[in-house]
Amino acid sequence: MGSQVLCRALVSAAWLSGAIRTRPAVRVIDSSWYTPGGRDARKEFAERHIPVASFFDLDQCSDQASPYGMMLPSESQFAKYVGSIGISNQSHVVVYDSDSAGMMYAPRVWWMFRLFGHSRVSVLDGGLQNWVRQGLPVTSEVTEVKPQAFQTRLNRSLLKTFEEVQENLTSKRFQLVDARGAARYRGPEPKPGAGPGPGHIPGSLNLAFSSLLTKDGCKKPVPELRKLFEEKGVDLNKPMTATCHRGVTACHLAVAAYLLGKEDMAVYDGSWSEWFHRAKPEHKVYEKI
């Protein structure tokens, strides 16, 4: 257990099982989220979660005034929200979710904490699915937390805006890597009036986040991750920004890059959902069919 440093990007279920009993600074949060009308993440959390975990509401901790879903909250909003669920600047935050893929939204929350200056944050490898598979306990007991003070310190290098990605079309200051699947990346041109269907930003490379996971929903070993980046032409020695549909699965690339020693991979928060609505027609690439 002692070999895993507190700021490691991933922690195992075995490590967390011991840490929640022996490390008072560890705060566990469930960041599960599902499309409205489907599964109810908060209800499922109330019925079954890792002992001592609190629920992290991605809808509540976001810019609710934005027309694009799940955009970042302000620094003050983030500080107020995480403090309300018992997280301080001394906490070691471990994030998980209950998605069937093993991990889906936890990397997004990991990136948010790092963006707002909190490096003591990890993702539970394989999520709740792997925790349960290993026979570890779950509970429906409510976790009592005491509100804490949390101070942010924005790490602007981890964030890219629409304007910066637009400028990069000509300057090419950084590599842009799209985490969506190949079909979503290529995409036929949507019909007039349709929402943000498939397609991609010019010059972006495609490395699907799903390719980074094992069949059990855990991150693949470091040598395999490195090979995947290399096969897609991504140079880990150069500046990189991840994008996807709305800035969620892009964070899987940021976690993988961190494991490979690239700790400063940025994320385009608005991603394709913003780009589709704001970019010029010639700045949207679709496969011709």
Residue 200 is part of which domain span? 157-283
Q: Are both 150 and 183 inside the same structural domain?
A: no
CA distances from 53 to 10, 193, 199 (A): 17, 43, 38
**Structural domain contains residue 183:** yes
What CATH number is attached to the domain comprising 125? Answer: 3.40.250.10
Same-domain check for residues 122 and 237: no
Q: Which of 61, 218, 244, 251 is catalytic?
A: 244
Q: Letter for the amino acid at 215?
A: K
Could you tell me if residue 4 is inside a domain? no
Residue 113 sits in the same domain as residue 233:
no
Q: How far apart are CA 203 and CA 262, in angstroms?
A: 21
pLDDT digits (tens, 9 = 90+) for 31-57: 999 988 888 999 999 999 999 999 999
> What is the model's pLDDT at position 226?
97
Same domain, 238 and 150: no
For 111-160, what is each residue's pLDDT tens digit?
A: 999 999 999 999 999 999 999 999 999 999 999 999 999 999 999 999 99
Same domain, 135 and 110: yes
The maximal CA–CA distance of the chain, rounded, in angstroms, is 58
Q: Is 144 domain-assigned?
A: yes
Find residue 177's DSSP bridge partners.
Answer: 205, 242
3 found inside a domain:
no
* Residue 126 and residue 149 in one domain: yes
Say if residue 123 is in the same domain as residue 194.
no
Which pTM value belongs to this model? Answer: 0.94
Residue 161 lies in a domain: yes
Known catalytic residue: 244? yes
- Regarding whether 141 and 171 lie in a shared domain, the answer is no
pLDDT computed for residue 289 by the predictor: 56
Residues of the chain with pLDDT under 50: 1-6
